[in-house]
Structure 1
Amino acid sequence: MATVQDDNLLGNYLRYHRTRLDAASLGYSMTRRRTPGLRREEVALLANVSTTWYTWLEQGRGGAPSAEVLDRLARALALTDVEREHLFLLALNRPPEGAYPKSRSVTPQLQRMLDSLENCPAYVKTAEWDIIAWNRAATVVLTDYAVLPEKRRNILRIIFCEPGIRNKIPNWESVARFVVATFRTETARSGGGARARALVEELSLASAEFTALWRDHDVGLYGEGTKYIQHSTLGLITLEYSAFSVDGKPDLGLVIYTPATPEDRVGIRALIEKKTLSLT
């Protein structure tokens, strides 16, 4: 079976988008224009780089361009946000800073998906671990986020600053270490913005435990695992969790908790039904 070997991914990507541009709509003359799209010198002029260097870039011998140059090339080639991100990945092996706008809400479709998980607590968190959406099961089993002020709807603030939280988490020390290590990894991936830095500074002043864990420089991944909760009504319950990214919004993460045993499933379902009936 024949295979396709492509050793010049960046150059071919630039050439592809250059030839797709409509020269006439951009005000260029179509006289003596034998090939579609813009000429190399025209793209170079729009991106404020030399024609020779841009030509080398398409040929795979121009060296690694800077982020600033890539931004100018993206504008010159009229790339979309997704296309711009792919350009950076090809050239620098990383996405551009601010590839996608930060999200502080979820779409109605995503909220309906959360609500459809009737017996499985689930929520959506930001890169700074703010909880911005949740379902009824999360309110009953985990925390009633609706009664918390918006600023306090943050996993790290709840773990380190919320009164009584240690009584609800039997293995609080290991959970706290895991949370800090995973938060460090995720904020580094998202660029460690001002909101994340401010949160670290706030927690360092508020919690000696957080300060000590943050200084350890441990890293981790959310992935999948098991969570134990000492619930006020159900007693000790066990939940299995899985974490997912939200496509198109890489700063958002979806976490779903599933009852780990038949007894947990029955108890959680009965409690949710009881709470729901009390509201009707």
Structure 2
Amino acid sequence: MGGVTTMTVTPATGPRRRPQLAAFLRGRRARVTPADVGMPPGLRRRTPGLRREEVAQLSGVGVTWYTWLEQGRPINASAQVLDAVARTLRLDQTEREHLYQLAEVPYAPDREADAHRVNGEVQGIIDALDPHPAVVYNARYDILTANAAYRDLFDLRAMREIGVRNVLWMLFAVPEPDCPLVFRDVELPVMVATLRGAYGRHVGEPAWESFVRRLSATSPYFAELWSSGDVVPPGPRVKTFRHKAVGEIRMTSVSLSIDGMPDCRIVVYTPDDEESRHRTAVLRGRRGLPEDS
């Protein structure tokens, strides 16, 4: 399930770097677990970290191409593809620059748009916003972190079952009766239009193209909305959610930017009326209870 990646073989201009590149990629792949990227562990896993095919799939590149890259073969690697691999392997800025040097690709720090984790300061802010549900999304709606109140409001079991830590994917992949959005046909078009607004900065990037292609194959409704071409920026909205324990909850969502993470935003939800405030308080009181109680 990888993207189409050109596998042009070129003369090795730095033959000593290719073995170093191979070792570096293998080492970083071994330290990333399936749980780190929202994937189920699977059975009979002998690899300490991700498998090569999993890295390729998550990065939106071909399995053969990634295998050749990790074997240190003299193939071309674009900055966009290296960005995607770096995100999957959760490389920090120093490691990312090292990857570029080993692959002999000019390093451009401002390309680091899609963050894959938050720092301690942002995490502290998210936790301190409790009892208001708060989450950090990147531009693709991947969940980078969330507080306990967010987990109270949203049943994340469906996300764990599909193995993709992405709220947009979960909303389209679950059957319509299980969708937590009450006015699904109103809210989902806005979310897809917001996604397309961000997509313009990432056209051609393997991770983005793979995400859109795979979600379109999973959900004809998403494919229909995506083909419309509508674009909107993120903004405050009042959304109605359903929760099996307390019923409908009306929440106002507000997006906040994060310095140093231009493609990410904090989204905070606040009750829109007294009944919703009461029901979110009931959810807080249920913390620690079994999910099916």
The TM-score range, normalised by the shorter chain, is 0.5 to 0.7
> Residue 135 of structure 1 corresponds to which residue in structure 2?
147
Quote how far apart the aligned CAs of 1:207 are.
Answer: 1.2
The one of 225, 229, 232 equivalent to 1:217 is: 229
> Residue 262 of structure 1 corresponds to which residue in structure 2?
274
For residue 210 of structure 1, what is the amino acid of its counterpart?
A: F
C-alpha distance 278-150 of structure 1, shift in aligned 2 (>3 A): closer
Please state if 1:206 is matched with 2:218.
yes
C-alpha distance 103-151 of structure 1, shift in aligned 2 (>3 A): farther
Secondary structure in 1 aligned to 2:132?
Answer: coil
For residue 212 of structure 2, what is the amino acid of its counterpart?
A: V
C-alpha distance 149-227 of structure 1, shift in aligned 2 (>3 A): same
Residues 1-280 of structure 1: matches in 2 within 5 Å? 98-100=110-112, 102-144=114-156, 148=160, 151-163=163-175, 166-190=178-202, 193-276=205-288
**How many angstroms apart in 1 are the aligned matches of 2:204 and 2:286?**
42
Task: Detail structure 1 runs of 4+ shifted over 4 Å in the superposition.
Answer: 164-167, 276-279
Quote how far apart the aligned CAs of 1:219 are.
Answer: 0.5
* Alignment RMSD: 2.6
For residue 226 of structure 1, what is the amino acid of its counterpart?
A: V
C-alpha distance 121-99 of structure 1, shift in aligned 2 (>3 A): same
Structure 2 alignment gaps of length 5 or more: 1-92, 94-107
Deviations 1:11-57 (A, max 9, x none): xxxxxxxxxxxxxxxxxxxxxxxxxxxxxxxxxxxxxxxxxxxxxxx
Deviations 1:166-220 (A, max 9, x none): 5532211111111111100012135563211111100111111111111110011
For residue 128 of structure 2, what is the amino acid of its counterpart?
A: S
Quote how far apart the aligned CAs of 1:254 are.
Answer: 1.0
Aligned residues: 185
Checking the alignment, whether the CA contact within 8 Å between 1:121 and 1:135 is kept in structure 2 is yes
Quote how far apart the aligned CAs of 1:109 are.
Answer: 1.4
C-alpha distance 149-187 of structure 1, shift in aligned 2 (>3 A): farther
Deviations 1:149-173 (A, max 9, x none): 6952112211111245655322111
C-alpha distance 124-99 of structure 1, shift in aligned 2 (>3 A): same
**How many angstroms apart in 1 are the aligned matches of 2:161 and 2:117?**
16
Deviations 1:228-271 (A, max 9, x none): 01111111110000012211111211111111112211221232
**How many angstroms apart in 1 are the aligned matches of 2:219 and 2:185?**
13
**How many angstroms apart in 2 are the aligned matches of 1:118 and 1:155?**
20
For residue 261 of structure 1, what is the amino acid of its counterpart?
A: D
Checking the alignment, whether the CA contact within 8 Å between 1:159 and 1:165 is kept in structure 2 is no
**How many angstroms apart in 2 are the aligned matches of 1:121 and 1:199?**
26
**How many angstroms apart in 2 are the aligned matches of 1:166 and 1:114?**
27
C-alpha distance 170-146 of structure 1, shift in aligned 2 (>3 A): closer
For residue 111 of structure 1, what is the amino acid of its counterpart?
A: Q
Checking the alignment, whether the CA contact within 8 Å between 1:169 and 1:230 is kept in structure 2 is yes
TM-score of the two chains, using structure 2 as the length reference = 0.57
Deviations 1:62-104 (A, max 9, x none): xxxxxxxxxxxxxxxxxxx9xxxxxxxxxxxxxx884435311
Secondary structure in 2 aligned to 1:148?
Answer: helix
**How many angstroms apart in 2 are the aligned matches of 1:114 and 1:152?**
22
C-alpha distance 278-202 of structure 1, shift in aligned 2 (>3 A): closer
